[in-house]
Amino acid sequence: MLVPNEQNERMITYEVEAEDDQQPLKETLKNRLDLSSRLLTKLKKSKRILINGQYAKYHELLSEGDWIKIDMTEEASQFEPQEIPFNVVYEDIDVIVINKEPGIVSHPTKSHPKDTIANAAQNYLEKKGVACRIRFVNRLDMDTSGLLVIAKNPYTHHIMSQQMKANEITKKYVAFVKGVVVANEGEIDGAIYRSSDETIKRVVDDRGQQSLTKFTVLERYADATMLEVSLLTGRTHQIRVHMESIGHPMLGDHLYGYVDTELIRRQALHASYLSFLQPRYKEKIEVRASLPKDLNELRNKLKDELLR
């Protein structure tokens, strides 16, 4: 079983169980710890797997009660550390979950070489004396606010990526859309397709990837609706594309939606809830993020319009 080691986020410790007795080390690493072939190759080259404190080769047989230690030490990211809002809402030995502000990108790009969440994370980790690469488990558009997960080591990133592919991570959003949604709840099943490399815009088209979105009405206004939206697949722009496809585009969405700068200046979308299994101990973790200031202001404006 995986053993807690709260003093070092880079060390994975596993006590060999009866089922692993006389099994090759490599098989146990793959079957019990779910290590990827890529990570196994990397660890083999750097000789960072030990059995009972001694360097071990993958063909070596295990005995019940042996201790496997995997050193995940690696070169830290080299982003420029910057003092940028970095609101940590959950953290443990393996992950950091932040409540991202709108208007900031996650990772440096050609158009945004700095002033990103990665720069803020670098600053945060350096102040804590933690040296690790910054790996994002999920992604949020620049103008989407809410919960963003950062893995502290390659093991965590791999396990959570597997959870994502298996739909074991629950993601819920709050969205404000144009028009009054009549049904209290619904499901949108529409393949999402990118028609050209020259555009970032997606459409619902049978040639695309299968995509499934569920929604529940939270509040109705005079000509808008507040929804809770759950993603059962994780396609680029999925909520924005799907809501436009049913005639209820996102308020403030300049690419797909309905723009009224008197209401809000960015897409009214917030990642409000996440649940996942802690990669090392398999405990269920639930994290929530309250609405940011601009969406609370939008909500109040819509309520005022309803009362007029």
Contacts of 113 (CB under 8 A, 6+ apart): none
| Architecture of the structural domain at 2-71 | Roll (3.10)
> Tell me, what's the pLDDT at 307?
65
Question: What is the DSSP pairing of strand 145-151 with strand 269-277?
Answer: parallel
Q: Which amino acid is at 61?
A: L
Q: What is the CA radius of gyration of the chain?
A: 22
User: Apex CA 283: angle with CA 280 and CA 215, to 5°?
Assistant: 115
Residues 174/228, Cβ–Cβ less than 8 Å: yes
Assigned token pair, 202: 């997606």
23-28 LR contacts (CB < 8 Å, sep 24+)? 23/61, 23/62, 24/58, 24/59, 24/60, 24/61, 24/62, 25/49, 25/51, 25/56, 25/57, 25/58, 25/59, 25/60, 25/61, 25/62, 25/68, 26/58, 26/59, 28/62, 28/68
> Tell me, what's the pLDDT at 259?
85
> Tell me, what's the pLDDT at 232?
85
CB neighbours (10 Å) of residue 223?
A: 12
- Burial of 196 from C-beta contacts in 10 A (0-12 / 13-18 / 19+): exposed
> Tell me, what's the pLDDT at 46?
81
> Tell me, what's the pLDDT at 8?
61
Domain spanning 88-307, CATH class: alpha beta
> Tell me, what's the pLDDT at 173?
97
The size of the chain, in residues, is: 308
**Residue ranges, the chain, pLDDT below 70:** 1-9, 307-308
Looking at the chain, which residues constitute the CATH 3.30.2350.10 domain(s)? 88-307
Residues with a catalytic annotation lie at 141
pTM, rounded to two decimals: 0.88
